[in-house]
C-alpha cells in the first residue's frame, strides 16, 4: 500500500496531475521543464489511462525507471474488469479504447495493467527536512503515518475533503509537510492548508500540471 522514495537519489523531482492518455501534453511539459531522464524523477497522482488519445502510451510509462505512480481509480476499474470479466463500468468511464487494440497490443496492455496490482496507493517522498505524500484522491485520516492502515476506496475515490476546501474550509493533515492529490478536474490547482489538488483537466482541453518539488 505504501512506497517510500529517497529524494537524494534524484537531481529534480516532479509531480504530475492526471494524464488520462494525454501523452503529447506530458512530453511537451517535460521538454519545457528540461527534464533529464537520467537524473530526474516524475511521480504521478494516478489515472494514467482512459478518455485521452493515448492510454497505451501513458500506461507504458510505468516501465520507465524515471517514472513512479500511485494507483488511480481508473487503473482500479481496469483491473477489476480484467479480473471479473465485467467491463461495463470501465468502458462507461472511458475504457472503451481497450476494445480498439489488436490482439498483440491487447496482450501487452493486459500485462502492464496486471502489473499495476503491485503499485502503491500512497507514495512518501523523503527529503532532508521534508516529507511529501502523494495519493490519488485523498488520504483518509487527519494524521499521516508510514504504513498506517487506510481503506482503499476513499484513497481512490473520495471527494469529501476537497469539497470542504472548495467551500472555504481550511483543511490540513498532520504527519507530513505536503500532500498532493489528483482525481477531480479543476480549472486551476487548489491549495488548502498543506493539501494540493493538481488535476487541472488536461484531457478536457485544459493545461496539464507538472510541478517541481525538488
* DSSP code of residue 5: E
Helix, strand, coil % over all residues of the chain, rounded to 5: 35, 20, 45
Round to whole Å and give the CA distance between 80 and 113.
10
Q: Which of 20, 34, 74, 183 is catalytic?
A: 74
Known catalytic residue at 115? no
Inter-helix orientation angle 103-115/73-84, to 10° = 120
Round to whole Å and give the CA distance between 82 and 102.
16
CB atoms within 10 A of CB 196: 20
Cell of 130: 521534508
* DSSP code of residue 58: H
Catalytic residue set:
74
Amino acid at each position: 500500500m505504501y512506497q517510500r522514495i529517497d529524494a537524494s537519489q534524484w537531481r529534480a523531482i516532479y509531480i504530475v496531475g492526471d494524464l488520462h492518455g494525454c501523452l503529447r501534453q506530458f512530453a511537451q511539459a517535460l521538454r519545457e521543464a528540461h527534464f533529464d531522464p537520467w537524473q530526474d524523477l516524475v511521480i504521478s497522482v494516478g489515472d494514467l489511462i482512459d478518455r485521452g488519445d493515448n492510454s497505451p502510451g501513458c500506461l507504458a510509462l510505468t516501465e520507465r525507471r524515471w517514472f513512479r505512480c500511485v494507483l488511480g481509480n481508473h487503473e482500479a476499474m481496469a483491473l477489476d474488469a480484467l479480473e471479473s470479466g465485467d467491463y461495463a463500468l470501465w468502458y462507461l468511464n472511458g475504457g472503451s479504447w481497450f476494445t480498439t487494440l489488436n490482439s498483440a497490443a491487447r496482450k501487452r496492455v493486459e500485462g502492464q495493467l496486471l502489473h499495476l496490482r503491485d503499485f502503491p496507493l500512497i507514495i512518501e517522498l523523503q527529503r532532508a527536512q521534508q516529507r511529501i505524500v502523494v495519493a490519488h484522491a485523498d488520504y483518509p485520516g487527519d494524521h499521516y503515518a508510514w504504513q498506517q492502515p487506510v481503506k482503499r476506496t476513499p484513497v481512490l475515490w473520495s471527494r469529501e475533503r476537497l469539497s470542504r476546501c472548495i467551500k472555504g474550509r481550511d483543511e490540513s493533515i498532520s504527519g507530513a509537510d505536503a500532500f498532493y492529490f489528483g482525481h477531480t478536474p479543476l480549472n486551476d490547482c487548489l491549495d488548502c492548508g498543506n493539501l494540493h489538488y493538481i488535476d487541472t483537466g488536461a484531457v478536457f482541453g485544459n493545461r496539464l500540471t507538472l510541478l517541481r518539488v525538488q
